[in-house]
Structure 1
């Protein structure tokens, strides 16, 4: 695990998922790659969840998790790192909400709110998705998103069919 100097650090919440191949292994590898960078440090990872598909429902179930990452990168540079990890893992974007090997979304970046052509934080649909809010509540239940804490969003989001696939939060170090 790397260490970062105490100045200029930001906490970003990431959502990871996939439903092709071995998604837990892909997410674990992505987290290890982020943690190995001098500019990032994984500080907390949620339990691993098995979740029904959302949006496009005629596909295999997903695995999902959330992670908190300390970073010196600005949000768009962090996004580029996440996209480069996806590309290296052969992520192909054929259809919206379609099957994927790996998906890494920036959910929040500190308390920053921003919208550019590349990135919107907080993630615009995160509070509608149980597969995001449930694992995010594992690592940041008191995080304020769109004026409410995550634990309050969890009370109002559909979590039907979401199951804990791995209880240990260190799953990503062992997969």
Structure 2
């Protein structure tokens, strides 16, 4: 069974934000995925929507045997299990959320489908907090 390295960005702006991020990582790990690296926590303002709730974010490198779509389904199930109500890809807009898990890269794969685009261009090129979190991850994995 081949192993793949996946770079994730996780964010939360509701409830105990750090605990939400730690719980999501534990859920990822509990299904046989290996956590190779975790960044420091970083706070950021909401992007592309207005809220008084500040985000707490982390980046992580995961080793998995799941395919990109299988891994997407897996992290979406964690979001749902933790109480995330709406998905911005489905609703077309952003809102406060207990957990958000984005796949930034998967090995060196370029992949585009209706549900998933790898690499995640907004996180790599447009969002400052992402660049800060990912600076040691993308080019040094």
Would the TM-score normalized by the shorter structure come out above 0.5?
yes
Number of corresponding residues: 136
What is residue 97 of structure 1 aligned with on the other side? 94
1:112 aligns with one of 100, 104, 109:
109
SS in 2 for 1:29: helix
Q: Runs of at least 4 residues of structure 1 off by over 3 A?
A: none
Deviation at 1:52, TM superposition (A): 1.2
Q: Indicate the structure (1 or 2) with the bigger Cα radius of gyration.
A: 1
Cα deviations across residues 12-52 of structure 1 (Å, max 9, x unaligned)? 000100101111111100101111212x1110000001111
Q: Does 1:130 align with 2:123?
A: no
Other-structure match for 1:88: 81
Matched, 1:18 2:12: yes
Q: Structure 2, unaligned stretches of length 5 or more? A: none
User: What secondary structure is seen at the aligned counterpart in 1 of 2:121?
Assistant: coil
Match of 1:28 among 15, 22, 35: 22
TM-score (norm. length: structure 2) = 0.89
Q: What is the correspondence of 1:143-154 to structure 2 with a 5 Å cutoff?
A: none
Q: Select between 94-103 and 59-68 the one with higher mean Cα deviation.
A: 94-103
RMSD: 1.7
2:42 aligned with 1:44: no
Q: 1:134 to 1:102 in 2, by over 3 A?
A: same
